[in-house]
Amino acid sequence: MARFAPFLAAAAVLLTGAQPRTDTAVLAGGCFWGMEAVFEHVKGVQNVVSGYAGGAAGDARYEKVSSERTGHAEAIRITFDPRQVSYAQLLRIYFSVAHDPTQVNRQGPDVGPSYRSAIFPQNEEQRRLADSFIKQLRAAKKPIATRIESGPFYPAEASHQDFVRRNPLHPYVVVNDRPKLAKLKRAYPQYWKA
């Protein structure tokens, strides 16, 4: 029966006119390897792409972004099903697991504006929610460095996609990214997917 699932889903769309609903989030918070790995393990997330946001298309290449003069941040684009995980739930994971929102232009060993904490809302509702989260955290006397920014997203080179999955024993991954995955599983077991 499972092999017929795609055909049944397509037939349901034709019969009801209902389209599968997905939404997109763009978040920056340090090296995109770990950010991508965290959100790939969240139920309801369908796809995560590492890339660059905040700068120009011509500068959206790793060697240029690494110069720290392009305006880009290493970022991820998350495609998710809001019926399974909301944008607010993604922000909760972003602020508490995926990175440290109190660090200015750095995350762990990575230093520079390309490693900044930034949210790139894709619509006004996302902007409102992101602003609300930041205000709540600041009201709790937390020194939040996260900024709300705008600009298109550009996918990174193929060598950066699925880096943690392809290189689970890479020293950077072992020290910086695997602890984030363990924290996600421990702090949000209801969202964890293997």
Q: Encoding tokens for residue 136?
A: 């709540």
Axis crossing angle, helix 178-187 with helix 32-40, rounded to the nearest 10:
30
The answer to whether 43 and 191 have CB atoms below 8 angstroms apart is yes
In the chain, the N- to C-terminal Cα span, in Å, equals: 23
Beta strands in the chain (DSSP E): 23-29, 45-53, 73-80, 106-107, 110-111, 117-119, 147-148, 153-155
Q: Encoding tokens for residue 63?
A: 């060697």
Catalytic member of 25, 31, 118, 156: 31
Q: Which residue has the tokens 């969202």?
A: 191
Q: How is residue 42 annotated by DSSP?
A: B
The yes-or-no answer on residue 102 being catalytic is: no
The answer to whether 16 and 10 have CB atoms below 8 angstroms apart is no
Phi and psi at residue 153, in whole multiples of 5°? -105, 140
Question: Could you list the active site residues?
Answer: 31
